[in-house]
Amino acid sequence: MPIIRYVKNFIFSKYHHRLIFSFLICTLLPLILMGSVLYSITHKIAGDSILNSIILADDQLSIRINNRLNQAEKVSNTIQYDMYSLMQKMSDTREDFAIISNVRDNISLLKSTFDFYHIDIFLDDKNIAASEGLFFHPLSDLRKTGLEDIINSNQKWIYKKQYNLPYVINNTKNTQDVIACFNVLNNQVSGNTEYVYLVLLRTDELSKMLQESFDNVNLTGYIIDQNGTVISHTSKELIGTKINNIDLNINSDNTIVENSSLYYHIVVLDNGWYHITEIPKNYIFKHIYTLLRTFIIIIFLSVPVILLVIFFTSINLTDRISKLSSAMDNFKLGKKSIDVDYISALDNNYSLDEVDKLGLTFLNMQSSINKNMQSILELTLSEEKLKYQLLQSQINPHFLYNILGTIQTCQTIGKIDIANRMISNLTRFYRMSLRKSDEKIKIKDELEISKLYLEMEQLCRQDTLSWTINAEEGIENFLICKFTLQPFLENSILHGYSSEKTNIHININICYGDDEVIITIEDNGCGIPNDKLEQIRYKLSNHIVDYNQHFGICNVNKRISNTDFGNGIVLIESEERKGTKIIIKYAQMEDFS
């Protein structure tokens, strides 16, 4: 992607950018990792702390509820003693009415003292107290109140909706949802029920406890019985409904049940019911956000400070390295003396670090190198010049041996006139070569030398050799390395003839390229075999001079590849029985003398 490529190029384009990027990675990455770990740990600790504080408050509420339920049970147990006197065979005597009055007063005192909703006692219908109608009622009224099931119940507490008090107590006929702690006495011999009494509490009383505990808090609390019926709830309209979606199989070590959005704190009350508090997870998260915001603000405030420190530290370091690098680069390009200003300004009292010491070392090295650079360059130039002269000098004897061999052949076979003309041309050839003693000569002079050589070879070949020379206007005044063309012409003649190729024509073409001179030498000879052609190309591409094979063209290739002689190349193309094409390319060189 272009954006990723741009960012990558920006980061790696400068050492300063890479250093800042490295600093950022080495500081911000650990900071982010540490912040993430601390965030996670803080989130967990804060969440657990808030959850534990809610559970602690909820446990205190459970204790209050248990105290109230236990209070009702204790009163229920106390009433049992009064029931013994009422169970005697009562008559309509003054003493019996006194007992009833005394028991009623005790019941009334317990009711008012402990603020119970009511205490109802159901006696045998024949008992004279059963008609009292205030606290005492006949057992037959159990069916009217819908409490007949408690006679055979193995529970001690019940929940009753819309319980109606006696008319003498509540003449409005308003009902009330209640819970009751009850006692039943069944005759073990006859199986008849002798009495039932209930200590009644309003469910509103427990709901009020729940509401007060969770006032201004987004929590829900309720009490349910073993069947899941809601006995009391912070929302009164839910009292009496059923809740069956909670797993009530808990132990004393773990009272928390969790789902995707809620924690349930479940406490088993002393009477076997369940006090349950719903704690939304977002309620906990909301309360830890303040702590986390503080932590994040600290992180964001520290990041700019870190960035500023990184920026100024890196720019101080990279500025010095950049100046030192620039000085080294310019020095490498050939400047004799490069001044590093910040090092020159240092005094003896300045505390030098490794970069400063490196700069001082560079200045000392630069001074030492400058003393020897000129002499080294002069020695190098002298060595290159000697190498070139050696290569050039090797052309002359190689050419001379071939011509003298040809002259000797002409004399042997009796062609004295041809031999004499060749000697005359050879004299002219060397007179021109020696007169042009420079290493680089004009193209027109190189062509003149080439013509003399071709004329000598034409004498030996009995007019079976021909040539044409084409040069673009003005190109003959450019310079060329001396003896560039002759070795290629010699190869075209010596290796071009065969039984099938008895006439050789050589075409020399010189033209302009892009700031270069392009020379093409093309013959119609027998061509070069492929294996031999590959050998020649390998030697040319690697600038190898083989003194045993292909010496002439390898020698020329080596000389013109020098930067002082055009930084040229030699390319060769050939096809058997069709001819060979030599292409020479080198940079244009002008004569300013």
Residue 460 to residues 199, 207, 422, 456, 506, Cα–Cα distance (Å): 149, 135, 9, 7, 16
pLDDT at residue 301, as a whole number = 78
Q: What is the pLDDT of residue 372?
A: 62
DSSP H or E stretch at residue 458: helix 443-460
Residue keyed to tokens 């020399």: 508
State the pLDDT at residue 511.
Answer: 94
Residue given tokens 């010699």 in the structure block: 490
Give the CA angle between residues 239, 240, 246 to the nearest 5°: 85
- The predicted pLDDT at position 119 comes to 92
On whether the CB atoms of residues 320 and 355 are closer than 8 A, the answer is yes
User: For position 506, what pLDDT does the model report?
Assistant: 93
Contacts of 116 (CB under 8 A, 6+ apart): 72, 75, 110, 199, 200, 201
Instruction: Write out residues in the chain with pLDDT < 50, as ranges.
Output: 333, 349, 381, 383-384, 386, 388-395
The predicted pLDDT at position 4 comes to 65
What pLDDT is stored for residue 388 in this prediction? 46
Task: Name the CATH architecture for the domain at 379-587.
Answer: 2-Layer Sandwich (3.30)
| Amino acid 91: pLDDT | 59
| Alpha-carbon radius of gyration of the chain | 60
Amino acid 394: pLDDT: 47
| 516: its two tokens | 């270069």
Residue 519, both tokens:
């020379």
Angstrom distance (rounded) from CA 199 to CA 192: 22
| Whole-number pLDDT of residue 1 | 58
Q: Any residues with CB less than 8 A from the CB of 505 and at least 6 apart, and which?
A: 465, 466, 467, 468, 523, 524
pTM above 0.75, yes or no: no
Q: Give the span between the Cα atoms of 236 and 216, in whole angstroms.
A: 17
Q: What share of the chain is helix, strand, coil (3-state, %, to 5)?
A: 55, 20, 25
DSSP state of 236: G
Cβ(551)–Cβ(545) below 8 Å: yes
Task: Tell me if 456 sits within 8 A of 422, measured CB to CB.
Answer: yes
- Read off the tokens for 570: 């030699």
For 16, residues 6+ apart whose C-beta sits below 8 A from its C-beta are: 314, 315, 318, 319, 322
Pairwise CA distance, residues 587 & 582, whole Å:
17
Q: Which amino acid is present at 470? A: N
Helix (H) or strand (E) holding 584, with range, is strand 579-587
Domain spans of the chain, in order of start: 61-298, 379-587
